[in-house]
Amino acid sequence: MGRSKLSQLWASVLINAIYSMENYPITLVNTFMAPLSILIIITLVSHGTLLSVGLSGALIMTMVTSGIGLQADLSHLKNDFKVQDMVVSSPTSAFMYMLGMAVSEVIFSLPAIIILTILAVLFIKVTIIGAIVIFAVMALMFSFSIALGFFLSTYSTDIVQNYAFMGILSIFLTTIPPVYYPITYIPLPYRYIAYLSPTTYAAEIIQSAIGYLQLSTLTLAVDWAVVIAVAAVLLTLSIKKSRWRES
Amino acid sequence: MKPGLVCKNLTKRYKNGPMALDNINISIPSKGIFALIGRNGAGKTTLTRILATELLPSSGTATINGIDVVNEAGRLREQIAILPQESRAVQWLTPRQSITSYLLYCGLSLREADSRVLPTLELLGIKKNENTLNRMLSGGVKRKVLIATVLASGSKVLFVDEPTTGLDPISRSELWTVLNKLKKDRFIFLTTHYLEEAERLADMIGIIDEGKLVALGTLNELRKIVKYGYSVRILQKGVSVRPRHGKLIVGENGFKQIITTEDEADRLAKRFIRDGTRFSMNPISLEDIFYYLVKKPIETGEVEEDEGGW
Ligand SMILES: Nc1ncnc2c1ncn2[C@@H]1O[C@H](COP(=O)(O)OP(=O)(O)OP(=O)(O)O)[C@@H](O)[C@H]1O
Ligand SMILES: [Mg+2]
């Protein structure tokens, strides 16, 4: 019997995105409420001056939340329904399962991504290069958070733990760090704390791409290096060290 | 490649946990139904999960049709499907969607997956629930959705961990009919707490107790292990009895049971009739064998005398 890898990928997309959107449309509203609401607050509080920064922040948040969401979805399917047990015993590999689930999260976030992209095109003046930079950073942030989410989910034994992980991660990765506002707003000694979060580097790159921050070439190079390294390390970790088959 | 399920010195000790499997040795043909029975915590699920390539053993080896469950898991996964003990139908899917998505994980095309949905739902008598959300279905129907899901895979080796838990008696016997039909051209590894189920379905039965395989064979072979062919149950409490042969078992509820030879059973029966003691006498059943092997019996000779009247 010929086995199709595409089928295996599509299975995750159906279970985790298409079918759940089809059967529970309300879940869609939820995915763009969070980034949109912070964007609105930032824009109002800054009298519009931070609209473009806030928009890029919302894009980063959407990407990062996808991975965090993946973590909870996977744990739910694994621990509450034993779907993952059935998949482990099937021809689907850990990698195909993760890839399929990652795609499902993108599809789930599409409404948010589309709205934010339309707003970005309308309100941010950005060059083609700038657009490519933004896209690349978003893709890296997505890989980072998906890998992190997958890694954590294979270690969780209870969805309640995941809700805790989720809350903590989302605060440390998107709410507190200078994702929705420029890093220059943080007084100096504390600025270094912000650099503990990989999202800070991503935000710097995007804020510079939209012309909001002037960064030295060295700073930019460091930013890229960190964003790429973090994504690469987590992807490797998630493939090598995830607990797919239990021991 | 020799067909069969072979476990050699298979052992599993969970991290910071108990010895769940203790040196299991099995060698049986991989066809028909193998029923594994044992008390809660005996190690049934642990063994099932190791064989289904979900869990790694601590030591020992296992092969199914010559394929190693640890080193050749990828190849084995092409041929197996499992219904885990604690699996639940995903609430936000319909039975159709549940089956389709699982078949896609098995690598079937969407068209092939779709075409298998209705016949399988029909087989389990839940065709009318095809498009109802799983969360609206009754517990038993949800269970059937899961069973349908693994059956639809068409896998030649099926692991079903307590599939009939939660089914009403009629549904259960309907499922038995289905499994009996399916077992003709595949191997079904079944765990159950319904001994009648094992008796009716299984070609081979294994009894596991505290991680050790205490019996393995056909029902007839198991009967021979026990040596005694008859079971006498005393249906009232406080009766003192001292069988000459066989074993006396006192159930949790205080009722006594004697597993013994036909002659001894006759002798006891006559006495009980004379005394007006209520009792039943039957050829030995799987349940009796199970009690005999798993429940620590009171040996003859040191029979407890509880005259404490009732
Ligand atoms: N993940 C785990 N970690 C530690 N110990 C475990 C784990 N899973 C099972 N055990 C222990 O291993 C032993 C065997 O458990 P197992 O689930 O295999 O029993 P079982 O025969 O399937 O029982 P039941 O009839 O209740 O389903 C038990 O003592 C159980 O507590
Ligand atoms: Mg079990």
pLDDT tens per residue across span B78-134: 999 999 999 999 999 999 999 999 999 999 999 999 999 999 999 999 999 999 999
Integer Cα distance of B122 and B95 in angstroms: 12
pLDDT tens per residue across span B57-77: 999 999 999 999 999 999 999
Q: Which residues of A touch B55 (CB under 8 A)?
A: 245-247
pLDDT at B253: 75
| Domain spans in chain A, listed from the N-terminal domain onward | 3-240
| Domain spans in chain B, listed from the N-terminal domain onward | 5-223, 227-305
- The closest alpha carbon to A88, from A180, A160, A154, belongs to A154
Q: Which residues of A touch B15 (CB under 8 A)?
A: 247
Nearest CA to ligand 1 atom 25: B40
Please, where are the H alpha helices in A157-216? 159-170, 188-194, 198-209
Ligand 1 atom nearest residue B16's Cα: 4
* pTM exceeding 0.90: no
pLDDT tens per residue across span A89-117: 999 998 899 899 999 988 888 888 888 88
CATH superfamily, with its number, for domain B5-223: P-loop containing nucleotide triphosphate hydrolases (3.40.50.300)
The residue to which tokens 């509880």 are assigned: B306
The residues pairing with B187 across neighbouring beta strands, listed in sequence order, are: B32, B157
DSSP for residue A142? H
Integer Cα distance of B19 and A247 in angstroms: 14
Integer Cα distance of B232 and B281 in angstroms: 4
Long-range contact pairs involving A117-125 (C-beta distance under 8 Å, separation at least 24): A117/A59, A119/A55, A120/A55, A120/A56, A120/A59, A123/A51, A123/A52, A123/A55, A124/A52, A124/A55, A124/A56, A124/A210, A125/A210, A125/A211
pLDDT at A178: 81
Q: How far is the CA of B39 from the centre of ligand 2 (A)?
A: 9
| Helix, strand, or coil (residue B106) | coil
Q: Which residue has the higher pLDDT, A27 or A192?
A: A192
pLDDT at B300: 47
DSSP for residue B297? P
Spell out which residues have Cβ within 5 A of ligand 2, the ion.
B 44-45, 85
Q: How far is A238 from chain B (nearest CA, A)?
A: 18
Q: Which residues of B touch A2 (CB under 8 A)?
A: 107
